[in-house]
Amino acid sequence: YVNNQLCTYTRIANVVTVPLSSALTAGTFFTTKIVYHGAPTSGTGFFSAGINTIASPSWGNNVTYTMSASYHGFEWFPCKQSLKDKIDSSSVWIIVPDSLKAGSNGLLNKVTSLPNNLKRYEWSTKYPIDYYLISATVANYVDYSYYMHFDNSTDSMLIQNYVYNNPATLPAFKSVIDSTALMINQLSNLFGRYPFYQEKYGHCMAPLSGGMEHQTMTTLGFFNGTLVVHELGHQWFGDYVTCANWGDIWLNEGFASYVEQLFVNKFYTPAIAFNYRTAVHNRVMQQAGGTVFCNDTTDENRIYDSRLTYDKGAAVLHMLRYLAPKDSLFFAGIKNYLSAHAFSTATTSDLKSALSNLYQKNLDTFFNQWVYGEGYPTYSAEWNQQINGSNYDFVIKLNQTTSMPSSVSAFNLPLPVLLRSPQGDTMLYLPFNTATATYNWPTNTFMKTITSVEIDPSNWIINKTGPIIKNTALSIPTTVSQTLKVAPNPTKDVWHINQVAVGTSLQLIDINGKLLWNETASSGEIQIPAKNLVPGVYILIMKDANASQQSIQLIKE
C-alpha cells in the first residue's frame, strides 16, 4: 500500500519494486505499508540469517531473535540497507503467546492482552537508528529491571533485562547485570552521558557466542564484565555514531574493544590491566599483515575480523591516546568526534580530524601506517655508558624491522625507552622513524649508573622487542662537542646552551615528536625559550656539519 492505495509489485531476488499509479512530488510525505509473512529459520549464530529460532544449548530455553548485521535486515523486514540513511524512529509490535515476553528497542509503551492467550508487546524508539540495530527477541523470559542514577545528577534511567526464565540463570548473572549501572556511569564520565538516556538500556538473552549492540537493548548469550561493557560501549560507538561504511567498521568494534580495556583499567589491578592489553597486542601479532581498515566489505568474516577490526583497532586507539600531548586531550577529542556526528555516521577521516585539531599535530602518517597500512615493528637496541670520574656519557642505538616492509618500511612513532638505575629510573621518548638511529647524551645530562634498558615497558605500541644489549664498543662521537653546557636544567623560563659548534642544527621536540623550535647555531651560545611550554620532558636534537647526532633531555618545571 502507498498512501493507503493497494499497489501491484514485482520481486526479483531480494528486491521488491512497486510501480506508482502517479508520480510522488519530491519532498512530500507519503506512507507505505507492506504486508508479508514467513517462518524464521532454525539456526543460530552471526551473519547467517536475519531471524532465527533455536533452543539455548546452555539453558534449554527456546528463543526467536533477529540479527541484521551486516546485510541481513531485509531477511526479516523490508528496509533500505544504507548506513548513512538512519531511520528517524521505529515502532516494533510483537504478538506472542502470553507465556512469553518480547524485547526490542526503546521503551515498552504497552502490553495488550489479545484473544487466544496472546499478548502484544508494543515498543518504540524516538531516536534515529540504523537498519541493522533494530531488533526483536522472543522467549520465556523474566524481566529483571532496576533504575540507575547518573553521577552528580538526580536523573534516573531504566535498565531492563530479559533473562531466561530458568531458576539458575538470573542468580548466575545477577551481579554482572547489577554492575551495568557502574559501567554506564564510567563511560558517561569519559565520553558524555549515555546517548539514549531518555529511553533505557537493557539486555535480551539469546543463544549467541557473544553479543550484538541492538540500540538500547543488547542481545547477548551470557553476561560477563568485558562482554557487557563491550556491547554497552557500542551505544556510543556504533549506535550513537555509526561507521559511515563497512570499511570503517573498526570505528565501531575497535572503540568497543578499547572500552573493555578502560573497564579493566578502572576495576581491576594494574597487573591484570597490563596483561589484558598485552594479550590484545599478542593476538594482533599472530599474523604479519592485514589492515585495520576493511578493504573487502563483501566478506562478513573480514568485516568482523577479531584480530584486525577488534584487537588492532583497539590497539590503534591506545596508541592515539599515547600520542596525545595530555591524556585529557584524547578523551576531549573523542567527545568532539561524538558530538560532531551525533545520531549520524562518521568515517576514519572524521576521527583523524577530531584528534588532529586538539593535538595540533598532523596525524596523516600515523593513520597511513597503522590504519591503512599493514604490520608492526620489532625494536632492538644497543647501548653503552661511559663513566669517567664524575662524567657520565650515554649512547643508545635503536633498530627496527617491520613485519610487512612492502607496506611500511619504518614506523614513525616516538619510542618510550626506560633507563633503569639504582639512583632512579629515567624515561626517554625518542623520535624514531628510520631503520636505525643513534642518540647520544653528553657528559652529565643525567648523572646515574644505567644498569639496563627497556623498550616500551608500558606496552603503548604494538611491537615485538628484539635483543637489548650493552655494547661497550659503542661510544659517543667526538664530532659533536661533549663539553656542552646546559643551564639551568630543569628550567622555568629559558635553557642556555653553551659551547655549541657554529653550524650545528638544533631542534626541540616534545615527547610525541612534535617540532617546537629549531635554529642553526651562528655562535657558541644558544637560548631556547621555555616559558610558554607545559611542564614536562623535552628532547633537544643536535646535528653537526657531518650529520653526527646528539640528543639531550631537557626538563621544563
pLDDT of residue 477: 62
Thinking of the domain 30-236, which architecture would CATH place it in? Answer: Sandwich (2.60)
Give whichever of 28-32, 40-44, 71-75, 103-107 has the largest mean pLDDT: 103-107
User: CA–CA separation, 313 vs 255, rounded Å?
Assistant: 7
Above 60 in pLDDT, residue 33? yes
pLDDT of residue 485: 80
* Closest C-alpha to 122, from 113, 130, 114, 112: 112
In this prediction, residues 224-243 reach a mean pLDDT of: 99
Please state which of the ranges 111-115, 388-392, 430-434 shows the lowest mean pLDDT.
388-392
pLDDT of residue 479: 45
Supply 300's cell numbers: 562478513
How many CA atoms, within 13 angstroms, populate the side-chain half-sphere of residue 56? 25
Read off φ and ψ for residue 355, nearest 5 degrees: -80, -40
CA 308 centroid distance within chain = 12
Above 70 in pLDDT, residue 198? yes
What single string gives the DSSP state of each residue in 305-355? -IIIIIIIHHHHHHHHHHHSSSHHHHHHHHHHHHHHTTTEEE-HHHHHHHH
Equal fold, 244-370 vs 375-476: no
pLDDT of residue 513: 67
45-54 long-range contacts (CB < 8 A, ≥24 apart) are: 45/208, 45/209, 46/208, 46/209, 46/210, 46/212, 46/300, 46/304, 47/72, 47/300, 47/301, 47/304, 48/72, 49/75, 50/74, 50/75, 50/76, 50/77, 51/75, 51/76, 51/136, 54/207
Above 80 in pLDDT, residue 484? no
User: CA–CA separation, 198 vs 194, rounded Å?
Assistant: 9
Above 90 in pLDDT, residue 388? no
Supply 404's cell numbers: 610487512
Going from N- to C-terminal start, the domains of the chain cover: 30-236, 244-370, 375-476, 478-557
pLDDT mean across residues, the chain? 94
Above 90 in pLDDT, residue 537? no
User: CA–CA separation, 494 vs 174, rounded Å?
Assistant: 59
Supply 49's cell numbers: 540469517
In this prediction, residues 485-491 reach a mean pLDDT of: 88
The strand pairing partners of 388, in sequence order, are: 391
User: CA–CA separation, 227 vs 212, rounded Å?
Assistant: 10
Which runs of consecutive H residues, i.e. helices, occur in 268-312? 270-284, 300-303
Give whichever of 394-408, 501-515, 526-540 has the largest mean pLDDT: 394-408
In this prediction, residues 355-363 reach a mean pLDDT of: 96
Above 80 in pLDDT, residue 58? yes
Three-state DSSP string of 510-556 = CCCCCEEEEEECCCCEEEEECCCCCCEEEEEEEECCCCCEEEEEEEE
pLDDT of residue 486: 86
512 against 55, higher pLDDT: 55
Residue 235, C-beta contacts closer than 8 angstroms, at least 6 positions apart:
194, 195, 196, 201, 213, 215, 216
Please state which of the ranges 50-64, 229-243, 481-495 shows the lowest mean pLDDT.
481-495
In this prediction, residues 41-65 reach a mean pLDDT of: 88
145 against 14, higher pLDDT: 145
Provide CATH code, domain 478-557: 2.60.40.10
pLDDT band at 466 (very low <50, low <70, confident <90, very high): very high
Does the domain spanning 244-370 belong to CATH 1.10.390.10? yes
pLDDT of residue 446: 66
In this prediction, residues 408-416 reach a mean pLDDT of: 96
Longest dimension (CA), the chain: 98
The strand pairing partners of 436, in sequence order, are: 399
User: CA–CA separation, 517 vs 509, rounded Å?
Assistant: 7
Report strand pairing: 241-243 vs 90-97: unpaired
Supply 119's cell numbers: 499478548
The kind and range of the H/E element at 241 are strand 241-243
pLDDT band at 392 (very low <50, low <70, confident <90, very high): confident
Above 60 in pLDDT, residue 367? yes
Above 90 in pLDDT, residue 56? yes
Above 90 in pLDDT, residue 249? yes
pLDDT band at 302 (very low <50, low <70, confident <90, very high): very high
In this prediction, residues 440-458 reach a mean pLDDT of: 83
Above 60 in pLDDT, residue 478? no
Enter the pTM of the model: 0.90
- Which letter, b or e, does each residue of 516-531 get, where b requires 16 or more Cβ atoms within 10 Å of its Cβ? eeeeebeeeebebebe
pLDDT band at 510 (very low <50, low <70, confident <90, very high): confident
In this prediction, residues 552-556 reach a mean pLDDT of: 85
Above 60 in pLDDT, residue 140? yes
Provide CATH code, domain 375-476: 2.60.40.1840
In this prediction, residues 22-32 reach a mean pLDDT of: 93
pLDDT of residue 481: 45
pLDDT band at 554 (very low <50, low <70, confident <90, very high): confident
